[in-house]
Amino acid sequence: MKQIRTVHDLAVRGAVPAFNEPLHVGRPNLATRDDFMRLTQEIYERRWLTNNGPLVQEFESAVCRRLGVRHCVAMCNGTVALEIAIRALGLTGEVILPSWTFVASAHALHWQALTPVFADIDPSTHNIDPDAVRRLITPRTSGILGVHLWGRPAPVDDLQSIADEFGLQLLFDAAHAFDCSLGARTVGTFGRCEVLSFHATKVLNSMEGGAVVTQDSELADAMRLMRNFGFRGYDDVAYPGTNGKMVEVCAAMGLVNLASLDEFVTCNRQNYEAYSDAFSNLSGASVLKFSPADRSNFHYVVVELDDEFAHKRDEIVSALHAENVLARRYFWPGCHKMSPYRELQPSASLWLERTEAVSRKVVVLPTGPSVSLSDIEIISDVVRVVLTES
């Protein structure tokens, strides 16, 4: 591995890349192969592959125990889980959410024929700003979709107060926040329900997968109907449902990875601290901090450039890519600037100033068990060189 000390060492200048193999943001966390193989062997022997199989039920129970939540309804992915949650809550008209999120949060609303209305964020947390939410409420608003971005809990209490005051439904996109907490309160228990993603790139993966977790038994029953075509029993269809079921092999992956989750988080934490140390000596960029009062899964290492260095963001990403470090500009440029929503709300930039400012200065760096402490040293060096040399 090549150390990067000066601008002449950078692969963008024609030198050899620092890494032979790419380092990805979102490289899957994987538990030992043997446990997964044992469960897949059992799936073969049982010949039960999907439709609320025993491993899906076991996975749902394990998630409930881990999060301290009453119901977990496992689904084929987080996006379908969002759509089913939105539908089960009976949302209509407009739903307020941040633009600063993965575009699936907005798509899920759009696919349910709702209008996503984008609210600005608090730049210090990257999460939705409750005052901005208030300003966007109209007679057509039926709900608020909060997002716990990067695993950092959204301002759940303020959002709940607004929801109560205006009679709105409140749900959360908790795709990033498995096993995170706000103080002593674990994510999974906020709002009417919370939506998880177990995509390959998430801290806990089931290859593809998602779930809605809730304390509300009626809501959970409704979502169980919806994810299985609305079947209440043989021949008895109670609702025009969809196919949102999780398959057994995904539940197997989810179960074995859940058993190793603490190891993944410990590794993420070490990497996060190493990045934070490296960037603490660097002027122009810092690693987004988590509150020590909360529990984090440290799954995203988000570097934010100071305003006067924002113009270097794309140069940093190009330099990292040239070294085979596939850093990401998540979630640039914000949902409201992506084509389907740009046309729906052409003037959204007027009230999303802070979203746009943040979107221009963020770089997300690789972490997880496939990234070593010496990799982090080199990655940080690349950023330092681009920031300090012109």
Which residues of the chain form contacts with ligand T4K (CB under 6 A)? 24-28, 77-79, 101-102, 104-105, 147, 173, 175-176, 197, 199-201, 210, 326
Distance CA(325)–CA(328), nearest Å, equals 9
**Residue 318 near residue 352 (C-beta atoms within 8 A):** no
**Residue 220 near residue 73 (C-beta atoms within 8 A):** yes
Nearest approach in angstroms of CB 173 to ligand T4K is 5
Nearest approach in angstroms of CB 330 to ligand T4K is 6
The residue count of the chain comes to 390
Nearest approach in angstroms of CB 140 to ligand T4K is 24
Contacts 24+ apart (CB under 8 A), 347-356: 348/99, 348/118, 351/119, 351/120, 351/132, 351/135, 351/136, 352/99, 352/118, 352/120, 353/120, 354/120, 354/121, 354/122, 354/123, 354/129, 355/98, 355/99, 355/100, 355/118, 355/120, 355/121
Q: Which is nearer to ligand T4K, 53 or 98 (CB)?
A: 98
Closest CA to 146 of 127, 167, 161: 127
Nearest approach in angstroms of CB 82 to ligand T4K is 6
**Residue 106 near residue 335 (C-beta atoms within 8 A):** yes
Nearest approach in angstroms of CB 128 to ligand T4K is 12
Nearest approach in angstroms of CB 79 to ligand T4K is 3
Nearest approach in angstroms of CB 125 to ligand T4K is 15
Q: Which is nearer to ligand T4K, 105 or 345 (CB)?
A: 105
**Residue 205 near residue 29 (C-beta atoms within 8 A):** yes
Closest CA to 278 of 363, 367, 386, 384: 384
Q: Which is nearer to ligand T4K, 182 or 387 (CB)?
A: 182
Task: Name the residue with the smallest CB distance to ligand T4K.
Answer: 78
Q: Which is nearer to ligand T4K, 20 or 347 (CB)?
A: 20
**Backbone φ/ψ region at 207: left (φ over 0), alpha (ψ -120 to 50), beta:** left
Q: Which is nearer to ligand T4K, 79 or 268 (CB)?
A: 79
Q: Which is nearer to ligand T4K, 201 or 270 (CB)?
A: 201
Q: CA dihedral defined by 382, 384, 388, 389, rounded to 10 degrees?
A: -10
Q: Which is nearer to ligand T4K, 74 or 104 (CB)?
A: 104
Nearest approach in angstroms of CB 335 to ligand T4K is 10
Q: Which is nearer to ligand T4K, 101 or 297 (CB)?
A: 101
Distance CA(138)–CA(144), nearest Å, equals 12
